[in-house]
Amino acid sequence: MRVLVTGGAGFIGANLCRELAERPEVDRVVALDDLSTGHAENLDGTGAELVETSILDATLVARLVADADAVVHLAARPSVPRSLADPVASHDVNATGTVRVLEACRRESVHVVAASSSSVYGSVPYLPKHEDLPTRPLSPYGASKLAGEAYVLAYGTSFALPVLTFRFFNVYGPLQPAGHAYAAVVPTFIDAAMRGEPLLVHGDGEQTRDFTFVGTVTAVLADAVVRRVACAEPVNLAFGTRVSVLELGRRLSVVLGGPVEVRHGPPRAGDVRDSQAADDRLRLLFPGATAVPLEEGLRRTVAWFRGRPAYAESAMP
Q: How many helices (H) and strands (E) does the chain have?
A: 11, 13
pLDDT at 182: 67
pLDDT at 253: 95
Which candidate in 121, 126, 141, 151 is catalytic? 141
182 is catalytic: no
User: CATH code for 173-209+241-272+292-311?
Assistant: 3.90.25.10
- Angle between helical axes of 11-21 and 214-227 (0-180°, round to 10): 50
pLDDT at 316: 52
pLDDT at 269: 85
Q: Where are the chain's structural domains?
A: 2-171+212-237, 173-209+241-272+292-311
3-state helix, strand, coil in the chain (%, to 5): 40, 20, 40
pLDDT at 314: 57
Range 269-284 average pLDDT: 93
- What secondary structure does DSSP assign to 175-237, as a single string? T---SSTT--HHHHHHHHHHTT--EEEETTS--EE--EEHHHHHHHHHHHHHHT---SS-EEE
Going by the DSSP 8-state scheme, the letter that residue 292 receives in this structure is P
User: CATH code for 2-171+212-237?
Assistant: 3.40.50.720
**191/180 Cα distance (integer angstroms):** 11
For 66-90, the pLDDT digits (tens) are 999 999 999 999 888 899 999 999 9
Residue 140 has pLDDT above 80, yes or no: yes
Range 292-315 average pLDDT: 88
Of all residues in the chain, what percent carry a pLDDT higher than 90?
90
Residue 200 has pLDDT above 60, yes or no: yes
For 220-230, the pLDDT digits (tens) are 999 999 999 99
**65/142 Cα distance (integer angstroms):** 27
For 149-182, the pLDDT digits (tens) are 999 999 999 999 999 999 999 999 999 988 776 6
pLDDT at 87: 96
